[in-house]
Amino acid sequence: MRILPVNFNIEHKNMLSHLQTIVSKKHLAVPEEHKELIISLRTAYARELTLDKDQTSYNDVFALRMGLKVYLIN
């Protein structure tokens, strides 16, 4: 296992932008049994690339941003 430390205070906007790019380019498929993640993605709301947690259902977007950080998309 390889562990990559991430300074979330610095990287959170880049990670949210990266997630948005991956989703908008349809490079992400979420199986329908992950209903909470799907709801989280559908309800995600950001202001200036900062996730508004009060308007977003569930916190799965946080884990997904971290998990997709290592994937490079052109």
Evaluate if residue 74 carries a pLDDT over 90: no
12-55 confidence digits (pLDDT tens):
999 999 999 999 999 999 999 999 999 999 999 999 999 998 88
Placement of tokens 């209903």 in the chain: 35
Domain ranges, ordered by start, for the chain = 29-74
